[in-house]
Amino acid sequence: MKKPTMNDVAKEAGVGRGTVSNYINGQNVRDKTKKKIQEAIDKLGYVPNLQARELKTSKNSTVVLIVPTSWTPFFSELVYKMQIELNHNGYRMILANSQNDPAEEEEILKMASLNQVSGVITMSYSDIYNFINIGKNLNLVSIERYVSEDVPLITSDNYNGGKLAAQKLIEMGSRKFLLLRRKVNHANATDLRTKGFTDYINSKHYPVDVFEASLTDNYRAEYKNYIESHYSTEDIPFDGIFSVTDEYGTIIQNALESINKDLLNKVKIIGFDGSSVSMNTPIGLSSIRQPVDEIVKSSVTILLEMINGSPIKKNYKKVLPVSFVKAGTSFK
């Protein structure tokens, strides 16, 4: 099948080839025309010739995406959709896994700065975030984590997500609650999820316990041991569990099932992320879903504005709404 060309895009959009070229190369084009061209690009699946654009404009067409790991459903979905969105906008993506290592993250940022990439989108949970010097040389957008007043922030509504989890567990009939999280060495999104959940449960005067696993690689065993020690008898100490990520919730789900499958009918679990292991595969855990599509589009949109030299207001922050999804839901 023949690949669509710039001429095809121009014909579909009803504009001249030069206008399409200007749009792709980041030059001024009317908003109404931009929309027509982007719709044509999306419809045809057109991918700009990045090498040709770089030669013509002397601009790098690479964006670096930093994630702590790509080995979870949420990060896999984010990475997949981010690459598609950047490709649609004429940029190639380089994926960098920081492994939650501050030194590794710093090296990635230095590499990006030295190679003068177009921009960086980062979703980091490390404790470094000393971007004062590095950030001056980069177009940098952060997902979930506040960096500085000069770095735009795109985030889910984590606090209200925690509240929503509490509301849903109460609706399911739970009355004794447990929240599962890991210790942190800096403030992050899971703190807001925790506060939203505990604030709502406390406002309804129900008991709630919090268990924090360590930051070591042994945290999975810590969750499992905690559950086994509390559900080893016929007593049900907690009939409603909120885990601040789906990963932790799945560990708990498996631990309860290994003790007694009937516990899964008696104990309600809600996680946070709401991504499936693969496209069209139903999620195995009820969850608070982060709006991945909106996170991706918002991150790329604000990054492109920075690349094109548009002024970005200080402390730019976009908070996106979350939703509740039941186990068994699938997404495309």
Contact 299, 143 (CB under 8 A): yes
Residue 55: predicted pLDDT: 40
> pLDDT for 207-239, tens place per residue?
999 999 998 889 999 999 999 999 887 889 999
For all residues of the chain together, what is the average pLDDT?
85
Helix axes 292-307, 73-88, angle to 10 degrees: 40
> Is the pLDDT confidence value at 283 over 50?
yes
- Work out the average pLDDT over 267-283: 86
- Predicted confidence (pLDDT) at residue 38 exceeds the cutoff of 70: yes
Element (H, E) at 125: none
- Give me the pLDDT at residue 275, please: 86
Q: Quick one: what percent of the chain has pLDDT higher than 90?
A: 45
Beta bridge partners of 64: 94, 120
Q: What is the pTM of this model?
A: 0.77
**Structural tokens at position 97:** 């896994």
pLDDT in tens, 64-112: 888 877 678 888 899 999 999 998 888 888 888 877 667 777 777 777 7
Whole-number Å distance between alpha carbons of 127 and 130: 9
Distance of CA 242 to the CA centre of its chain: 19
Q: Would the pLDDT of 53 be above 60?
A: no
Site of tokens 């982007």: 38
Residue 239 or residue 9, greater confidence: 239
The fraction of the chain above a pLDDT of 70, given in percent, is: 88
Average of per-residue pLDDT across 250-258: 93
Domains along the chain? 6-55 (1.10.260.40), 60-155+291-319 (3.40.50.2300), 158-289 (3.40.50.2300)
pLDDT (0 to 100) of residue 56: 45
Instruction: Give the count of beta carbons closer than 10 Å to the beta carbon of residue 97.
Output: 18
Confidence of residue 51 (pLDDT cuts 50, 70, 90): very low
Quick check: 26 pLDDT over 80? no
125 compared with 88, residue with greater pLDDT: 88
pLDDT of residue 107: 76
Contacting residues for 266 by C-beta, under 8 A, at least 6 apart: 236, 239
pLDDT at 110: 76
Residues 154-206 have pLDDT tens digits of: 999 999 999 999 999 999 999 999 999 998 777 788 999 999 999 999 999 99
